[in-house]
Amino acid sequence: MAKKTMIKAITDALDQELANDDKMLIFGEDVGKNGGVFRATDGLQAKYGEDRVFDTPLAESGIGGLSIGLALQGWRPVPEIQFFGFVFEVMDSIGGQMSRTRYRMDGSRNLPITIRAPFGGGVHTPELHSDSLEGLVAQFPGIRVVVPSNPYDAKGLLISAIRSNDPVLYLEHMKLYRSFREEVPDESYTVPLDQAAVAREGNDVTIVTYGAMVRESLTAADALAKDNISAEVIDLRTIAPLDTKTILASLKKTGRVVLVQEAQKQAGVGGQIAAEIAENGILYLKAPIARVAAPDTPYPFGEAEQDWLPNSDDIVAAVKQVSEFN
Amino acid sequence: MSQIDFEAILAAENSFSELQVLDENGQVVNKDLLPDLSDDQLTELMSQMVWSRTLDTQATKLNRQGRLGFYAPTAGEEASQLASNYAMKADDFLLPGYRDVPQLLRHGLTLTQSFLWSRGHAAGNHYPAELQALPPQIIIGAQYVQAAGIALGIKKNKSGQVAYVYTGDGGTSQGDFYEGVNFAGAFKAPAIFVVQNNGFAISVPRKKQTAAPTLAQKAAAAGIPGVQVDGMDALAVYSVMKAAREYTAAGNGPVLIETLTYRYGPHTLSGDDPKRYRTKELDDLWKKRDPLTRMRAYLTAKDLWSEDKENAVVEQAKEEIKQAIAEADATPKQKVSSFLENTFEVQPQNIQQQVADFKTKEAANNG
């Protein structure tokens, strides 16, 4: 056990799964000798060889097709899309092909692919690096979308994703890579897919969130505690398909809910969660659902990030609004 | 005057020629390229082409009767499709486009399943583990990038297989076309990329796709060999494909093959009318080049083919088609609960709930 950053936890997971399963492959742009643009695959090519960890030509769609073909030949691909803003180039491979292959082949083939991709704001990247596009891929039946919020979950969820015979999009928030350390076991372990976590227990209001907004929500919950508002924070972890049961169980207890995402209000998965609550939990509600999300513009120019991205103050305000509703 | 002679550069880049073995009368015009096929093999290949032509005629009728669904006609492309497939091995991996059902049938898909695929039934795509193929790909170009992956997987597995994949002339304009050949080239992976150039992508003539005078020369952009072959000439297609297979299986990297061919029918039977964009003169010109006519002449001269033999193949095809349609008719209706169960190996809670809901509904409907 040692304190590790999220990026270290991710590298550990990749390392241990490469050792655990000799069919696992890592490939992408600059993931080999260079060790990845964030060092997520640092040292892995040296340790496992170029047959297992290798660079590809610069073409995301080709990487998607390569993954599908390799998976059908019995390999377990863990490709990387350098930044998730580049997902548009590979949208057919993800949404048109790999998410549907098991279904279209009547269950006769599986595609055990885990696509890793960094995203997320707060680190002043150039255009189309930080966009939260998880809402797009969350709409494809047949693929899971996983977004860890901390080093412990990052490792356990990634190992689960790699071992899954269903395709997984594993989205890594860039701001979380090195912003804090946490106790992470050295040995291999899994965190289950499809299950949200209660990141903080509370009784007055439920905050449902994921990714970097989990930390903001926990900060907000600390502030709210000083005002005697007890907030329960749900970290979705798998954002598609949703763990609706955990959300509803919390809502049943608190009666109030704030949905928090970094994506624009018209994007992300907040709308989907609101609809699930409206369908299955409306009688638990003591106040209307509130949403904290980014404005409906394209992702901001670097210098404007702090004005644009949702933060703990926005969450505190939203929680107070639903708490005061009678 | 420029110091760089662009016209000379262009002329060098465009120096591709079409390979041929049989002329339109079935005469051998290139002995060097004549394939080493036994009499039985020659007869078998001819039988496959006649069988496929019969299937096309019957499938068109069945579609008109509403007994088949999506269907992309194949008449005219028998040499391109069947002779290329004939050069491959049973365990090579086939990635077909939506017009490439004849190759799939020869590679092991049952006729009944191909009819179910046409109708839109999941059972048509339930491939046994030993069937080294994917269902016909609808997204033009996607099969190309996937072929690069299959080929790299084969290379890593050292299985000695080869991946082979088909697209049309229009498909060469796609990004995935280029990425597929380029990836396979960069990884030196065992793949054969076939471009069946039938002159039209629905209504758009080949010349509107690209200024390149051949499609084979697009291989140069990937640094791999490209070959253009008479796609109405079964022996030329077979020879080129077989040579490509040997070359790529030996670890030399992929090959691109352009077959010059024609479809006598419409693009698909989903409402396309070729009279809008094709002349009778053009149709007649290509019918003179018919792949069956010239193989028939060649084999008849060798005393390997006769009207009786041909009629026997046609009758057998019709009988098999009749049986397969009956089997397709008898296939149980699809269930939404099965679709849900096939979407993931491990079901998340939304799927579990919907499976339960649909099973209840399906039980009520049956009761």
pLDDT in tens, B93-102: 999 999 999 9
Pairwise CA distance, residues A256 & A275, whole Å:
15
Q: Which residues fall within 8 angstroms of residue B312, CB to CB, at 6 or more apart?
A: none
Catalytic annotation, pick one of B99, B119, B206, B263: B263
Could you report the per-residue pLDDT of A128-138, keeping only the tens digit for each? 999 999 999 99
Q: Which residues fall within 8 angstroms of residue B43, CB to CB, at 6 or more apart?
A: B299, B304, B305, B309
B267 included as an active-site residue:
yes
Tell me the nearest-neighbour CA distance from B89 into chain A, angstroms.
17
Pairwise CA distance, residues A48 & A14, whole Å:
11
Judge: A66–B183 Cβ closer than 8 Å, yes or no.
yes
Can you tell me the mean pLDDT for B39-68?
Answer: 97
A173 included as an active-site residue:
no
Interface membership of A51 toward B (CB under 8 Å): yes
A66 interaction partners in chain B (CB closer than 8 Å): 145, 148-149, 152, 183
Nearest chain A Cα to B191, which residue?
Answer: A69
Could you report the per-residue pLDDT of B135-157, keeping only the tens digit for each? 999 999 999 999 999 999 999 99
Judge: B179–A106 Cβ closer than 8 Å, yes or no.
no
Residue that the structure tokens 């644009």 belong to: A308
Interface membership of A164 toward B (CB under 8 Å): yes
Q: What is the DSSP string of B70-87?
A: -----TT-HIIIIIHHHT
Q: Which residues fall within 8 angstroms of residue B11, CB to CB, at 6 or more apart?
A: none
Q: Does domain B10-334 have CATH number 3.40.50.970?
A: yes
**B230 token code pair:** 């008479």
A64 interaction partners in chain B (CB closer than 8 Å): 145
Look at the alpha carbons of A196, A198, A204, A205 in this order and tell me if their dihedral is positive or negative: negative
Could you report the per-residue pLDDT of B63-72, keeping only the tens digit for each? 999 999 999 9
Could you report the per-residue pLDDT of A261-304, keeping only the tens digit for each? 999 999 999 999 999 999 999 999 999 999 999 999 999 999 99
Pairwise CA distance, residues B93 & B165, whole Å:
8
Judge: A74–B122 Cβ closer than 8 Å, yes or no.
no
Could you report the per-residue pLDDT of B290-324, keeping only the tens digit for each? 999 999 999 999 999 999 999 999 999 999 999 99
Element spanning B151, H or E: helix B142-157
Could you report the per-residue pLDDT of A215-247, keeping only the tens digit for each? 999 999 999 999 999 999 999 999 999 999 999
Return the amino acid letter for B143.
Q
Mean pLDDT for chain B overall: 96
Contact B347, B341 (CB under 8 A): yes
Can you tell me the mean pLDDT for B206-224?
Answer: 96
Contact B298, B38 (CB under 8 A): no
Q: Which residues fall within 8 angstroms of residue B192, CB to CB, at 6 or more apart?
A: B162, B163, B164, B165, B241, B244, B245, B248, B254, B255, B257
Facing residue for A61 by CB, picked from B123, B145, B154: B145
Nearest chain A Cα to B338, which residue?
Answer: A106
Look at the alpha carbons of B230, B236, B241, B244 in this order and tell me if their dihedral is positive or negative: negative
User: Taking every pair of C-alpha atoms in chain B, what is the biggest distance, in angstroms?
Assistant: 86
| Beta bridge partners of residue A25, listed in sequence order | A77
Nearest chain B Cα to A60, which residue?
Answer: B179
Tell me the nearest-neighbour CA distance from A164 into chain B, angstroms.
8
**B51 token code pair:** 């069988």
Could you report the per-residue pLDDT of A198-221, keeping only the tens digit for each? 999 999 999 999 999 999 999 999
Judge: B345–A244 Cβ closer than 8 Å, yes or no.
no
Interface membership of A58 toward B (CB under 8 Å): no
Judge: A245–B349 Cβ closer than 8 Å, yes or no.
yes
Can you tell me the mean pLDDT for B103-127?
Answer: 98
Q: Report the pLDDT value the prediction gives residue B155, as an integer from 0 to 100.
A: 98
Instruction: Give the B-side interface with A, CB within 8 Å.
Output: 122-123, 125-129, 134-135, 139, 142, 144-154, 156-157, 163, 175-176, 179-180, 182-183, 186, 338-339, 341-346, 348-351
Pairwise CA distance, residues A135 & B252, whole Å:
43
Model confidence at B165, pLDDT cuts 50, 70, 90, reads: very high
Model confidence at B14, pLDDT cuts 50, 70, 90, reads: confident
Is the pLDDT score of B367 beyond 90? no
Count of C-beta atoms within a 10 Å radius of residue A43: 12
Q: Report the pLDDT value the prediction gives residue A150, as an integer from 0 to 100.
A: 98
A97 interaction partners in chain B (CB closer than 8 Å): 139, 142, 146
Judge: A73–B135 Cβ closer than 8 Å, yes or no.
no
Pairwise CA distance, residues A68 & B180, whole Å:
12
Can you tell me the mean pLDDT for A135-163?
Answer: 98
Give the number of A-B residue pairs with CB atoms closer than 8 Å. Answer: 144
Model confidence at B363, pLDDT cuts 50, 70, 90, reads: very high
A72 interaction partners in chain B (CB closer than 8 Å): 134, 146, 149-150, 153
Interface membership of A252 toward B (CB under 8 Å): no
Contact A107, B339 (CB under 8 A): no
Nearest chain B Cα to A52, which residue?
Answer: B156
Facing residue for B343 by CB, picked from A142, A244, A245: A142
Pairwise CA distance, residues B343 & A99, whole Å:
8
SS3 state at B365? helix
Pairwise CA distance, residues B127 & B95, whole Å:
13
Tell me the nearest-neighbour CA distance from B154 into chain A, angstroms.
7
Catalytic annotation, pick one of A4, A102, A116, A129: A129
Contact A128, A181 (CB under 8 A): no
Facing residue for B179 by CB, picked from A62, A241, A243: A62
User: Taking every pair of C-alpha atoms in chain A, what is the biggest distance, in angstroms?
Assistant: 63
Model confidence at B1, pLDDT cuts 50, 70, 90, reads: low
B264 included as an active-site residue:
no
Using alpha carbons, list the distances in angstroms from residue B141 to A65, B148, B170: 10, 12, 10
Can you tell me the mean pLDDT for B330-346?
Answer: 98
Contact A73, B156 (CB under 8 A): yes
Using alpha carbons, list the distances in angstroms from residue B336 to A108, B157, B331: 17, 37, 15
User: Pairing state of beta strands A168-173 and A114-119?
Assistant: parallel
Is the pLDDT score of B2 beyond 80? no
Can you tell me the mean pLDDT for A22-29?
Answer: 98
Among residues B153, B150, B176, the alpha carbon closest in space to that of B163 is found at B150
SS3 state at A119? strand
Nearest chain A Cα to B120, which residue?
Answer: A104
Interface membership of A272 toward B (CB under 8 Å): no
Judge: A69–B148 Cβ closer than 8 Å, yes or no.
yes
Can you tell me the mean pLDDT for B186-202?
Answer: 97
Cα distance between the two ends of chain A: 47
Categorise residue B223: left if φ over 0, alpha if ψ from -120 to 50, beta otherwise.
left
B180 interaction partners in chain A (CB closer than 8 Å): 62, 65
